[in-house]
Every structure is written in structure tokens, then in C-alpha cells.
Amino acid sequence: MNEKTKKQAYEAAKAQYAALGVNVDQAIETLNSVPISIHCWQADDVSGFENPSGELTGGIQTTGNYPGKARNIGELRADLEKVLTLVPGKHRISLHATYGDFGDTFVDRDQIEPKHFQSWIDWAKKHDVKLDFNSTFFSHPKSSSGYTLSDFDPEIRAFWKEHLRRCRLIAAEIGRQQGDPCIHNIWIPDGEKDKTVSRYEHRRLLKESLDEVLAEKISTDYLKDCIECKLFGIGSESFVTGSHEFYMGYTVKNNMMLTLDSGHFHPTEVISDKLSSVLLFVPEVNLHVSRPERWDSDHVVILDNELLAIAQEIVRSGHLQRVHFGLDFFDASINRIGAYVIGIRSTQKAILQALLEPTETLRDFEKEDKNFQRLAYLEELKAMPWSDLYNYYCEQQGVPVGDAYIKDIQEYEEKVTSKRV
């Protein structure tokens, strides 16, 4: 499709939406203002640079062995740079604490400092992206008991509290230098494989640990903390200390951000249904958009019903600016650059479709008890030419349109990632 044909398709689609009372230009402008926080760990299967050959723990695992994974900080950054050329908009990069620029020196989790991430800050400025941050409470000898901040051993808790303190300082320094708050996500793998008689005790210890560290106030101009819940995991099938109820209560009480991960609930639960409740009680929500296949499998995000429902609930609420979109998946069975691009574009497509909905018309139908008309509109919207609008948006942003990115990724694989042996 040439540029003239794309423009014609855009104008035709724009007219169709205008007939429904939808301002297409405003929708695209809003979409362009929504950054996606791109997770660095898809590029290297969550290996990191602290101990790249170490074993993944905390119920985290990658499946597959597709060639070409990033083996060092230079390769990972090169892959991220390539990804950024294939998606429209301005985005963020989310780092885990194990991805510091440690050189040839082992730096333990309770010793990391902002200097270990200065080269990331400089790299991000060069490429006009912002950074987010994650504490890393897994894949470490001191998490081998299955517990970190809620461990019965005070020395173990002290180690992880110091890690959390240092992560907050690193994130704050990132936020200060980039002139935009760094979102710092806290997820711990704490839990039990089998029945425990100490649920209350572990949760009391977690509360005390968080209270102690988070009492050290840091300006929200630089840092925004958030905590992430989970229902169960590998090795924590029977009990997870940081449950949804625990963190929901904690964030409401302390007026802080809550992280909702698409895969961290029972298969019959969906976070699209939780958003309208959560947004009434917490100041902001951080999303980890993933695709659970029967459990927290972290499959590559695709444009499925739940992803669209998440975007719709956020837009319908009128609080798009209070929700932060982050990705959290890792698939080692396919081309990793392709996984990134599919996930980012799918998320953007869901947001765009939500922004193109004539919500007020649908609400009027509801108020007038015109449920047939509401359902008919919702069904007809599925066949509207939103993809022509997204294609034109990509064209205007100077990135590949439609499936053209596939060729670019294949060429990058041939010239770059296939050489990594």
C-alpha cells in the first residue's frame, strides 16, 4: 500500500468514526502520549548481569532456546534500540536491579549503588527514553528459603531490606537525572509450596519490613514506589505472603501505587474487572501486561479480549493518566525482538480501539435501557477500520507499517543475533 492509498484509507476510516461522534485526531494524539514501559528482560531470558549463568528462582522460568539472546549489556541495549525503531511513540525501559553495569566485578544486592546504573541513565538520555526500575528479590542464595522480606531469620530480612533501600535510592537518582519520576516496582516471591501454619506471622513480618524501608521518604518528583501482588507461583502454590488482599490493603492505607499483573490471579479472574474498583481507592495503578495461558506463563502479549477490556476500562474510567502501562513477558521460544514488537504494538492497538469507542453514546443507551442498541454498537465497533488509523499513525511516526516490521526483524536476526554463538 503506497502513501497515497494509506492516506485515503485513513480519511475513509476517520469519516466512519466521525459519524459515530469520535474525534480520530484526538484519539491518536492521546495514544501518542501514552508510553509503554518496555521490560529489558525479554531480550536475555531474565539472566541479568549479576550472575548471567545462574539459575532462575522465585517461580520464574523461561521456556525455549531460540538462538540470539543478548549476552551482555551492549547486546541488550542494541536489541532495545532496534525495538524502538519498530514501534511508534515515545516509550520507557524498565530495568531490574540485576541489570546494572557491574563490569567484571560481582556486586551483591545489598551493595548496589546509583553508579552501577549511570551508564543506563546516559544511554536513555541519548535515545530519548525514560527509565523505570524493579527490585530483584529472586535468583539469589538468600532467597533460597522461599522468603525474603517475610523470612523468619532477621539477618535474611535485613539483607533484603538493605537491597530495597538501595533500589529506592537508585530509582530516585534515575528520576532526578531524567527529570521524570522513576516507577519503582516491588515484587517478592515469598511463599510456601505446602500448607503453612504461619500465614499471619509472615505477613506481619512483610508489613514491618515494608513499613521500615518505605518510612524513608523520597520526593515523588523522583520516585514512585509500587507493590505487586500474586496469587501463587511455582514453589508457592499453597501460600503467597504478598497476596492481592495484603497489597490492596497496604496501598490503600498508605496511599501508594498498586501493580496489577495480568497473570497473577486465578484463571477465572481478570484485572480488567478489578481496575474500576482499585482506581477508586489508590492514587495510581501500574500494569504488568502479560498473557497467562492457564497460569502465570508470561506468554507474549497479543491483542486478545482481555487486553482490549483492560484498555477499555481504563479509558472509560477517564483516568488514563493515572495508569502506567508496563510489559512483563519473556518467551525464549521465538525471536525475542519480534516478541517485543508484537507485545508493544498489540498494547497500543488495544489502547487505540478503546480511545475510538463512542462511550458517551453507549452510556446514553444504558441510561435509556436500550440494551439491544448498546450490544449492537459494541459488536459493530469490532469491525470498524481502526487498523487503517494505526497504520497511518505508524507511517507518520516513521516506523514500519503493517507487517513490514517482520522483514526488518529477519534482517536484524541474519546480520546480528544469529552471530551470537
Catalytic residues: 187, 228, 230, 261, 264, 288, 296, 298, 328
- Torsion region of 46: left, alpha or beta (phi above 0 gives left; psi -120 to 50 gives alpha): left
β-pairing verdict for 239-240 and 191-192: antiparallel
- Residue corresponding to grid cell 462511550: 359
Phi, psi dihedral angles at 78 (to 5 degrees): -60, -40
Report whether 149 contacts 161 (CB < 8 A): yes
Q: In 3D, which of 279, 284, 271 has the Cα closest to residue 183?
A: 284
Report whether 138 contacts 189 (CB < 8 A): yes
Give the type of residue at 356. L
Kindly report the length of the chain.
421
Grid coordinates of 5 = 492509498
Grid coordinates of 316 = 472509560
Q: Quick check: helix, strand or coil at residue 261?
A: strand
Task: State how far the Cα of 116 lies from the Cα of 8, in Å rounded to an integer.
Answer: 50
Q: In 3D, which of 103, 12, 146, 82 has the Cα closest to residue 412?
A: 82
